[in-house]
Structure 1
């Protein structure tokens, strides 16, 4: 089964809410992803397999040099097959094509091997204020 990656792919809120719940282990929400993506994102990448959304990453940005990876998620039954790294690679290519100079990501410590080894991010000093 071939996986199809689509930049700024058409998706519906129901499919993305279901994938997000599966991937992050929470109840299915009713988030209006389409409105959120159109308002705040440079773009997003969808991974499709046999008509099902199995992966997603959002690329938010500041309208200039900085893009930010958010909500990287792969369906639990399709993990550890390179799909997440494929999503991030396309996100990086598209951010570069949009003339962004930096692609940022923050993540929980257990995801270090994914972002540093599989995706090629480098460690940097950053700060955070919990709001």
Structure 2
């Protein structure tokens, strides 16, 4: 398995929608990811295997010191092989290069070992309002 990681990689919406559906077990959506990312993101990381999109992470930001990991997704057949951690590592490197000082993430409890152990995040107090 050779995976190529690309900051601000060129992808098509259909491929990213299909990857999300595969990873989350949902129907394929018709999200315009390109427009969303161009408007709200510092960047994103694509993982490519033999020309196919096999992983993705979005890095949103506040235009200053804070970047946020969103939409981390890895194809089911590539999970538990380091692809997600590598995506987050590239995201952290590029956020640092953009002079961000903090990289935030929130996640469901079952993902704690991934984000804390594999990616190096640490726990902090935070708040959340369900809207």
Structure 1 residue 126: Cα displacement: 0.2
SS at match of 2:58: strand
Partner residue, 2:21: 21
Runs of 4+ with deviation above 3 angstroms: none
Other-structure match for 1:103: 103
Cross-structure match for 2:129: 129
Distance 1:45 1:25 in 2: 21
State the distance in 2 between where 1:46 and 1:124 align.
28
TM-score (normalizing by structure 1): 0.99
Structure 1 position 88, deviation (Å): 0.0
In structure 2, what is the Cα distance between the partners aligned to 1:121 and 1:6? Answer: 22
Distance of 1:60 and 1:24 partners within structure 2:
21
Partner of 2:70: 70
Q: What is the total number of aligned residue pairs between the two structures? A: 131
Please tell me the root mean square deviation across aligned C-alpha atoms, in Å: 0.4
- Structure 2 gaps of 5+ residues are none
Aligned residue for 1:125, secondary structure, equals coil
Q: Give the 3-state SS of the residue equivalent to 1:44 in structure 2.
A: strand
> 1:114 corresponds to which residue?
114
Instruction: Specify the SS of the correspondent of 1:121.
Output: coil
